[in-house]
């Protein structure tokens, strides 16, 4: 028998997940940085993947990154007990599943004081259990195959092309990387002041996540939700958003020491609001999606020409009646 998480462990998904992130931050560990903090035998870091190859998003990325490191899994692919069974495989006896979350809305119809029917959308979140492919036996071989790491030069070229396609105004000079909302401009130190090209690209990923906050893009207004902690909340979003982008682009995030000052603010935000980390992860995912959406669409391959039809010969009458 496998051991899915008991119902009590899923009773309050928000509190359970927030407690994990808080415990990490209290140790000075940023959950979104975990995959790169440990030696990773599987090679380059990617987002966790569903059994179909579709990447997980938002909060589930943090959850499964953390779970993989805690349990020592190198494979990035996860699936439910049922999905494994449908592939003719089985979860090993005694294996314990990992929590992921699913958020959606349902519509309910209510009657107001005037007797009018009104529809109201109610958001909900539930947790369910998945297993890493290293916990499963009998899957097709490709589920266990390790991805070949991309060549460093190819990764940097891809990242450079990705950033250029955003159309962001990027200037170079000074000694501090930042996004200026007033000028709507990303400022970067000279390239040769960075440790290497990857460090430059990872820092730019962070600043471009800030760039998406502009009213003409993702329009992140955090003051109403986070009050005096809005700036720290924006930094939390940018750190997670850049981690998502780095995983997508095959980069290693740049750990910025000046961000250590935010740890206390982040702890305060998360302890005061158990849903805050979910909001931040969702906003980080939205920022990454926006930047991906600016990339050129792959050209559709032209369809091969249809084979020519033989000419249809109309019968010629032997004579014409007039």
Measure CA 219 to chain center: 19
Position 119 confidence tier, pLDDT thresholds 50, 70, 90? confident
How far, in Å, CA of 204 to CA of 196, rounded? Answer: 13
Q: Which residue has the higher pLDDT, 309 or 206?
A: 206
Q: What is the pTM of this model?
A: 0.83
Spatial CA neighbour of 77 closest among 149, 159, 139: 139
Looking at residue 60, what is its pLDDT? 96
CB atoms within 10 A of CB 294: 15
Average confidence (pLDDT) over 276-304: 89
9 φ/ψ angles, rounded to the nearest 5 degrees:
-75, -20
Looking at residue 5, what is its pLDDT? 45
How far, in Å, CA of 116 to CA of 38, rounded? Answer: 58
**Among all chains, which residue has been given the structure tokens 């990705």?**
162
Looking at residue 134, what is its pLDDT? 96
How far, in Å, CA of 159 to CA of 277, rounded? Answer: 27
Q: What is the mean pLDDT of the chain?
A: 85
Average confidence (pLDDT) over 147-162: 88
CB-count burial class (<10 Å; 0-12, 13-18, 19+) for 123 = exposed
Contact 238, 210 (CB under 8 A): yes
CB-count burial class (<10 Å; 0-12, 13-18, 19+) for 63 = buried
Q: Which residues contact 34 (CB under 8 A, 6 or more apart)?
A: 24, 65, 66, 69
Residue 257 pLDDT greater than 50, yes or no:
yes
Q: Which residue has the higher pLDDT, 243 or 31?
A: 243
Domains in the chain: boundaries:
1-138, 148-296
How far, in Å, CA of 261 to CA of 244, rounded? Answer: 22
């Amino acid at each position: 028998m496998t051991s899915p998480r008991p119902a009590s462990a899923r009773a309050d998904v928000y509190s359970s997940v927030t407690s994990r992130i808080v415990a990490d931050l209290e140790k000075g560990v940023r959950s979104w940085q975990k995959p790169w903090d440990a030696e990773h035998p599987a090679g380059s870091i990617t987002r966790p993947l569903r059994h179909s190859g579709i990447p997980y998003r938002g909060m589930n990325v943090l959850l499964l990154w953390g779970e993989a490191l805690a349990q020592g899994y190198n494979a990035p692919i996860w699936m439910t007990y049922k999905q494994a069974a449908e592939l003719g495989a089985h979860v090993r006896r005694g294996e314990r599943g990992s929590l992921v979350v699913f958020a959606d809305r349902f519509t309910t119809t209510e009657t107001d004081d005037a007797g009018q029917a009104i529809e109201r959308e109610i958001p909900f979140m539930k947790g369910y259990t998945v297993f890493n492919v290293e916990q499963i036996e009998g899957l097709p071989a490709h589920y266990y195959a390790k991805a070949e790491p991309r060549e460093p030069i190819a990764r940097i070229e891809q990242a450079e092309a990705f950033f250029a396609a955003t159309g962001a105004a990027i200037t170079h000079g000074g000694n501090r990387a930042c996004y200026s909302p007033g000028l709507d401009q990303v400022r970067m130190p000279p390239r040769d002041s960075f440790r290497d090209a990857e460090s430059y690209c990872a820092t730019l990923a962070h600043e471009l996540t800030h760039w998406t906050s502009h009213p003409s893009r993702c329009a992140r207004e955090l003051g109403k939700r986070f009050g005096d902690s809005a700036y720290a909340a924006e930094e939390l979003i940018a750190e997670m958003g850049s981690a998502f982008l780095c995983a997508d682009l095959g980069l290693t995030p740049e750990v910025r020491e000046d961000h250590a000052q935010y740890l206390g603010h982040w702890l305060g935000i998360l302890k005061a609001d158990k849903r805050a980390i979910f909001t931040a992860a969702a906003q980080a995912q939205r920022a990454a999606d926006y930047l991906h959406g600016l990339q050129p669409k792959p050209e559709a391959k032209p369809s091969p020409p249809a084979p020519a039809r033989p000419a249809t010969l109309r019968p010629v009458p032997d004579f014409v009646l007039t």
